[in-house]
Structure 1
Amino acid sequence: MKNLTLLTAAAVGGVLVGLDPALAQDTTAAAAETAAVEFAAAADTAYIFNTLLFLIGGFLVMFMAAGFAMLEAGLVRSKNVSMQCLKNIALYSIASLMFWIFGYNLMYDGVDGGFIGSFTPKAIPAPDADPGDYAAASDFFFQLVFCATTASIVSGTLAERIKLWPFLIFTVILTGFIYPIAGSWQWGAGWLSEMGFSDFAGSTLVHSVGGWAALAGVLVLGARKGKFGADGQVHALPGSSMPLATLGTFVLWLGWFGFNGGSQLAMGTMADASSVARIFVNTNAAAAAGVVVAIVATQIMYKKVDITMALNGALAGLVSITAEPLMPSIFMAVVIGGIGGIIVVIVVPLLDKLKIDDVVGAIPVHLVAGIWGTLAVPLTNDGTSFGTQIVGIVSYGVFAFVASLVIWLILKATIGIRVSVEEEALGLDKAEIGVEAYPEFGVGSQRV
C-alpha cells in the first residue's frame, strides 16, 4: 500500500510537469516529504519490533532460571532442595551484575577478529541518544540472560555435596570472564566468526561451555557418598519430586522459544517474522522428538520407561537444535532432536560406568548434545563446514574445561569445595542453608 501511494504520487507529478512546472515542483516536493515521513515511520516500526523481540525473548530466557531451579529441586533429594533454590537465584543475580561489570564488553567491545574485548562496564545510552535498529538496553538484557543459563548448567551437576560459597565464587568467574571471553570468539565477531564457525543460539557457546565447566567441577569434586559401591555397583539416589522436575522441564521448553527465537536478532520485516515462526516450529519438533525417542529407547533397553530420561530427552532435543534452528526442515529438526534423545539414554549410564556423578544429567544434555547439535549444522546450512565446526568445538572445549579446572583446583586447595561426610548425610539444607524445604517431613519433626 505504501509503494502504491508513492507510485501514484510520482505519476501525478509526471503528468503535471507538462501542464504546470511550478505546480509539478510543489507536487514532487510533497511526494518526497511523504516518502521521507513514511520511511521514518517504517524505521521506527522496525526499531520497536526489534526491541520487543529482544525484550520478550529475554524475559522468556530469564524464566528458564525458574525452570532450572524447579528441575534441580525435583531431581535432588528433599534434604537438599533449599540449597538448589538458593544457588539458582544467587547465580542469576551474580550473572546479572558480572555481565554488566565485565562480561558484555569483554564479549562485544572491540573484539574485531581477536580473542577478547575490553575490561569496562557496559554503559547504557539515554533514550534520546540510543542509536541503531533496537534499544541498546534490550540487547544487553537479552545477552545477560544467556550468560546466566551457563551457570545454571553447572549448578545441577554438582548438587548435594558442594559448598555454597565456592560455587558462588566460581559463578563470579564463569559469568564475568570465562563465558564472555568464549562468546567473543563467535558472537563478538572474533576469530571463530571470521573462520566461518556457526552457532546460531548457543549449543556450544552456552550449553557446551556450561557442560565443560560442570565436567571439570565434578571431576575435582567427586561423587556423592553412596552413589557408587566398592564392587562397581551403581546405586540410585532418587530425586524428591518428579512433578516438580516435570514442571521445570516444561518451563525450560517454553523459555527455549525465547532462547532460539530471540536469537534471530531482528523482526522488523516479514522475512524476519517468518524466520522466528519457523524457529519456533523446529525448536518444538526437536524437543518432542527427544522425548519420544527417549521413551522408546528406555522401554527397549530397561523394559520400563524412565521419566527422568524422558525429561532430559526433551532438553537434549532442545540443546541439539539450538546451534541451527532456522535452516532445517521439520523432518530434519525431528532427526536432530531425536538423536539428542538417544544421546541421553546412552551417555547417562556411560557416566555411571566412569563413576562420574552428574546429579541432573547436565553433561549428557548440555555438553554432549551441544557438541552433536554443533556438528549437525552443516547438514542443513551450507555456509559452514564440518572442519570449521570441529575447530570451534575443540577450541571451546579446551578453553572452558582447562580454565574451569584451574579455578576448581584453586578453590579446592584454598577454601575447599566439598562439605564434610556428616554434613552431606545431614543434607545441605540444614548444614549450609539453615532452612529446610520440607521441614514437616524431616527426622524428628513435631506434628501438631
Structure 2
Amino acid sequence: MKFSDQNGILSAQIPQAAGFTMSSPQPLTSLNNKRILLGISGGIAAYKSAELIRRLMDHGADVRVVMTRAAQEFITPLTLQALSGNPVHTELLDPEAEAGMGHIELARWADLVLIAPASADLMARLAQGKADDLLTTLFLATPAQVVLAPAMNQGMWRNASTQANAKLLEERSVTLLGPAEGSQACGDVGPGRMLEPDELAALTAQQFQSGLLAGKKVVITAGPTREAIDPVRYISNHSSGKMGYALAEAAAEAGATTILISGPTQLATPDRVQRLDVTSAQEMYDATMASLEGCDLFIASAAVADYRPAQLAEQKIKKTGQDTMTIELVKNPDIVTAVAASQPKPYTVGFAAETQDVVSYARGKLERKKLDLVIANDVSQAGIGFNSDRNAVTLVWPTDEETLAENSKTQLARDLIARISAKIT
C-alpha cells in the first residue's frame, strides 16, 4: 500500500486484486495451502474478523488467531476458535501454548501475519518495537510478511502520531491495507473504517504469488502394498515411497490441495499434505476412489501388488514335511485404470518401473490404460529407483517423450510437477 499526502494527512491508495470486484469476487487460488496468522486488536471492527476468517478459509488458507486482551472485550475467543477450527492464542506465557507450539513456533509457522483490525494503540506499539503481549512479540519474532488493516476513529487516523507510525511501519516493509472512508460506529464520517472481509481476503491473496497448481486438488499414491498370507506373513515389494512423497511435497509447494495415499513406509508426512495410510491394494483402491471428488490430477506412483492370496489363513501357517508350498493368487483391482475411467476424469499419471524395454513397456501401459502420461524408470540401474534418494525418468505422453537426467528425487519431483502443471493449467 502507498500513501499520498493531502494537507498533511496520509490518504490510503489501496491496490486492487486483479479481476476483483465486490459484487463478483474471483477465486483466490494463491491463498490455497497458505498459513495465515490473524492478529486481532481491540476495536469495534473486531466483529468483522469472524467473517474474514471464513473468507480466508473458503479460499483454502489455514488460519490461526491471536487476540489481544482488548480484542476479547469485543468478540470471544470461543467464537473465533469455532470458526477457524484451531485454538485461539491470547497469552504470551500460556503454559499450554509453551508446551505445544510455543509463541516462537507460532511466529515461524505463518506464511503471512495479518492484523485486522489494527488499532491506533497497536500500531503505536508496533512502531516502537514493543513486545509486551503475544501479538507484539510475534510481530518482532516472525520472518513472515506482516499486513495491517487499520481501524479507528477518523480523528485518531488523522492524528500526526498515527500518521507518523503508519509511515514508519511502511518503511519497515509492513503493508497497510486501508483504512476505508465512511460512517463510523461513533457517528463520525471519514477515513478509519476497516476494509470489508471480502476485500481484505482479495488483497491478502495479492501478497502471494500463485503457485503452478494453486487451487488444484492432487491425489498421489505412494509406497508399497502388503498382501497378507496369514497373520504374520505378506507379499510386498521394495518400494520405499520416496518418489511419491517427493511428488506430494512438490505438489503442495506448488499450491495444490494434496492428498497422499500411502502404503507402509518409514517416511515423515510432507508439510501441508493430508496423508491417508493404507496397507493392502484393496485399501489403496478404496481410499483412492473415495478421494476423487474434485480431483484435478492423480499420480499413481505406488508400487501396488498385482496379485493377492486368494485365501487369508486365519492362523499362522505351519511348516509341513513337503518341500514346496503353493499359494493361489487372484488379481487386485487396477487403481490407475479405474481412475482413468472415472467421470469426470482427472489428468491421470501412471508410473512404469521396468527392467528392460522401458519406454516400449511404458507406451504400452499408456495406451492400454488410457492414461495421460506415464513416468518410466529403469529399476535395474544401480543407485536409482527403489530405496534410493535419486532417480532418472522418461516421460511418455501420447505424442511425445522427454528424458529427465538423474537427479535427487526432491528436485526431480519439482521438475515433474512443473511439466505436468503446464498440461493441466
Range of TM-score over shorter length: under 0.3
Taking structure 1 as the reference length, the TM-score comes to: 0.20
Q: Which has the larger radius of gyration?
A: 2
More helix by share: 1
Taking structure 2 as the reference length, the TM-score comes to: 0.21
Larger RCO, structures 1/2 (Cα 8 Å, 6+ apart): 1
